[in-house]
Amino acid sequence: MSGKTDRKPTTSEKVDYIIPSNLRGLQLAAYLLKCLIGGESESQIAERFGGDRQLIKMWKCFLIHNHWIEEKNEGVWEMTCSGAEALKKHRPRIHSVSV
């Protein structure tokens, strides 16, 4: 016997992730919102999009213009009430995989 089992993984053995390249429209904006308030830089986020910093800057401008985020200190972003509502509405789909 090889020792391999066919048991299903428990909840603690599953990992949730988002595939950034599959996001479109406002789902991408919501994903970027979560990343920015989580303390990630534009460069870190752009790495997930093939280094496309212009795409990230465009959506960041959208978030600021539509009052979804506010900059509290240099590089420190906070979600607004409008941003929280938008995040609920346009939350990116999360996929679970077994590890």
27: CATH: 1.10.10.10
Residue 66 in any domain: the answer is: yes
Domain annotation covers residue 13: no
69 assigned to some structural domain: yes
| pLDDT single digits (tens) 31-55 | 899 999 999 999 999 988 889 999 9
Q: Residue range 77-94: average pLDDT?
A: 85
pLDDT at 18: 67
| pLDDT, mean over the chain | 80
Question: In angstroms, how far is CA 2 from the centroid of its own chain?
Answer: 39
Q: pLDDT value at position 17? A: 59
- Coil, strand or helix: which one is 46? helix
Question: Is pLDDT larger for residue 13 or for residue 19?
Answer: 19
Number of domains in the chain: 1
Could you tell me if residue 40 is inside a domain?
A: yes
pLDDT of residue 70: 95
pTM comes to 0.71
5 falls within a domain: no
Structural domain boundaries enclosing 46: 20-92
Residue 37 counted as domain residue: yes
Return the residue matching tokens 């212009």. Answer: 54
